[in-house]
A = this chain, B = another copy of it.
Amino acid sequence: MSTDGDRYVLVLGCPDSTGIVARIAGFLGEIGAWIVEAAYHSDPDTGWFFTRQAVRADTLSLSVQELRDRFDREVVRHLGPGTSWHVTDTSVRKRAVLLVSKEGHCLGDLLGRAYRGELPADVLEVIGNHHDQEDFATRMGVPFRRISFGDDPQEAFAALADRVDALDPDVIVLAKFMRVLPPWLCERWAGRAINIHHSFLPSFVGARPYHRAYERGVKLIGATCHYVTADLDAGPIIEQDVIRVDHADSVADLVRQGRDIEKLVLARGLRWHLEDRVLVHGNKTVVFD
């Protein structure tokens, strides 16, 4: 039974045309939905329309499945080819798996949020290619699994894929995983794997971005949260932010200050993903934050 705080969240992208808003709003009005949040975006370049609607579940006499069925019949079939949509029920907890390597600042931040109930997801497992973060995950009560990439990376990726898929998560977070996923895995996790890159992309794609930022003498450093695709650090950007640095900052200072911005950017991007606020179209995102 739905409580006062539960929402059904409808997310839709389709070819733009006159009357879509009226059709959706008419449908929601007809079933008596109390709309809590409604956001729309028409993209003139691609001719695509996007919307996200959150309605109070307790104002509806429909189950989420009935809502999906009726929406499909009464709205979606009138929309153009390529339409994609889904309805989620916030009373069903999202599921997250975190991948990590040696550095623990992003993992620590996310597990801390999860511990305090600030993350709208359950963290099912932390998977590390090293043991460094095992102690912390264990202290936080989250299962830790080591998958070594030392001997046979391809085999390790296969094991990783199997384990993750067995957990059936809504999101796989590369929380400083420091390994490039093979194309077949990017494909398999398309739209669900989120990475944090320690630069303001597209600057400093690839390795050692802080070193290269230092050498270039930039006056701001940044971090980028994006969906993982087969193109390295070139997937759809969810969130970015920067902080000011100056000539007195060494590479170590950039690394230290960068950690804080990485944590924030990843946490924001992850929350938006979990709340179905991010719609991907082509290589870009619409973020209804």
Q: Would you call the interface of chain A mostly helix, strand, loop, or mixed?
A: mixed
A17 to chain B, nearest CB (A): 9
Q: Within 8 Å CB of A42, what residues of B?
A: 35-38
Also in contact, A248 and B41, with CB within 8 A (given A239-B219, A240-B220):
yes
Complex: chain B residue closest to A225, CB-CB = B219
**One of B43, B112, B200 near A200 (C-beta < 8 A):** B200
Q: Within 8 Å CB of A81, what residues of B?
A: none
Q: Within 8 Å CB of A115, what residues of B?
A: 108, 136
- Is A284's CB within 8 Å of the partner chain B? yes
Complex: chain B residue closest to A237, CB-CB = B217
A286 to B24, CA, bound (A): 24
Number of A residues, CB within 8 Å of B = 71
- Is A21's CB within 8 Å of the partner chain B? yes
Interface residues of A in 191-242 (CB under 8 A from B): 200-204, 216-220, 222, 236-242
- Contact between A241 and B220, CB atoms less than 8 A apart: yes
- Is A250's CB within 8 Å of the partner chain B? yes
B-contact 0/1 string along A96-111, CB 8 Å cutoff:
0000000011001100
A132 to chain B, nearest CB (A): 10
Seen from chain A, the residues whose Cβ lies within 8 Å of a Cβ on chain B are: 18-19, 21-26, 28-30, 32-45, 59, 104-105, 108-109, 112, 115-116, 118, 136, 139-141, 200-204, 216-220, 222, 236-242, 244, 246-248, 250, 256, 259-260, 264, 267, 283-287
A-B contact pairs, 27 of them (CB 8 A): A21-B21, A21-B28, A22-B22, A22-B25, A22-B30, A23-B29, A25-B26, A35-B42, A38-B42, A41-B248, A45-B250, A109-B109, A200-B203, A200-B242, A201-B216, A202-B204, A203-B203, A216-B283, A217-B236, A219-B238, A220-B222, A220-B241, A220-B242, A246-B287, A247-B286, A247-B287, A264-B264
